[in-house]
Copies of this chain bind each other. A is one copy, B any other.
Amino acid sequence: MPGPARRLVCDWGTTHLRAWTLDAAGEVIARLDLPRGVGGLAPGEAERVFHAEVQIPLGAAGLPALLCGMVGSTLGWRTVPYLACPAGAEDLAAGMAEAAPGVRIVPGLRGEGPLGAPDVMRGEETQILGWLAMDPARGLGDHVLCLPGTHAKWVQVSQGRIVRFVTAMTGELFALLMTHSVLRAGVQPDDRAAFAAGLAAAGDGDALAARLFTARSRVVAGGAPADSTAAFVSGLLIGAEVAAVPALLGASAPKVTLLGEARLCGLYAQALTHHQISAEICDGEAAVLAGLAQLGDIR
């Protein structure tokens, strides 16, 4: 039986759930990965799912648990109020809320975005603070991070606190265009040349609706192979994001840290290089795990 120093941590997003049991030293004992995001839950279902599909299979029913992500939203288990930026690990730890006895949820963050509307995140704050926790020197400097995905976050971090961020729905646009638009195309194997052509076609990130149409005209009137469309559109969208979004933060970014899945981070790194910005990639799962372990240690 697990001892009291063991604990359960969980990143529960809109489409996915990942959970780990950790020993007293923070080492992973077991891992669970389910396509069981809160976006697919009926109201009130989160507690039952957590118990039956996470706690029981991991043998972690009695362990203290710490959760982050959309599980703290209105879609999730219990709505945990957003904290205002700037915020660091101590603030997040202080803002946790209990969903059930022994089960706490990390709050999301709310920032005054650079585009005239407030912006929000749930889950990314834990990844970012985990990345900071991996190397104490990071807590002293200024950083620009990008967390690619359905709704990519660009984040300015200073002195260990998340200062400002902005969201770009690049991943969602890509999925929409590939599924429902005149540009729709099956998923293709990597086509580095077409991705690079898309990056070049992104220009300064303006006139996106016109640039996107060239993904069609380059095929129907320009002789490009139809099966290069997905990679071209990916390059165009990521290129347009990288060309314009970091500047919105007002942060000079000679280097951007990418937190996320390796393949997608690799595409963003290529786009950053195209714009003479160097990139460092950190695995997103490692970051969220480090963040949950650290936040669990604070309280």
Contact = CB atoms under 8 A, between A and B. Distances in A.
Interface of A: 82, 110, 113, 115-120, 151-152, 154, 166-170, 172-173, 176-177, 179-182, 200-201, 203-214, 217-218, 220-222, 237, 240-241, 243-245, 247-248
Contact of A204 (B179, B206, B240): B206
A214 B113 contact: yes
Contact of A119 (B120, B213, B243): B213
Contacts of A247: 207
A151 B110 contact: no
B240 A208 contact: yes
Contacts of A168: 207, 209-210, 213
A250 to B, nearest CB: 13
A208 B208 contact: yes
B115 A214 contact: yes
Contacts of A237: 209
Contact of A248 (B116, B210, B245): B210
A182 to B, nearest CB: 6
Nearest to A173: B209
Contacts of A201: 115-117
Given A207-B245, A217-B113, A244-B206, A172 B181 contact: yes
B82 A221 contact: yes
Nearest to A197: B116
A138 to B, nearest CB: 25
B118 A221 contact: yes
A142 to B, nearest CB: 21
A206 B245 CA distance: 8
Contacts of A182: 151, 169, 172
Given A151-B213, A173-B209, 6 more contacts: A82-B221, A115-B201, A115-B210, A170-B209, A205-B208, A206-B240
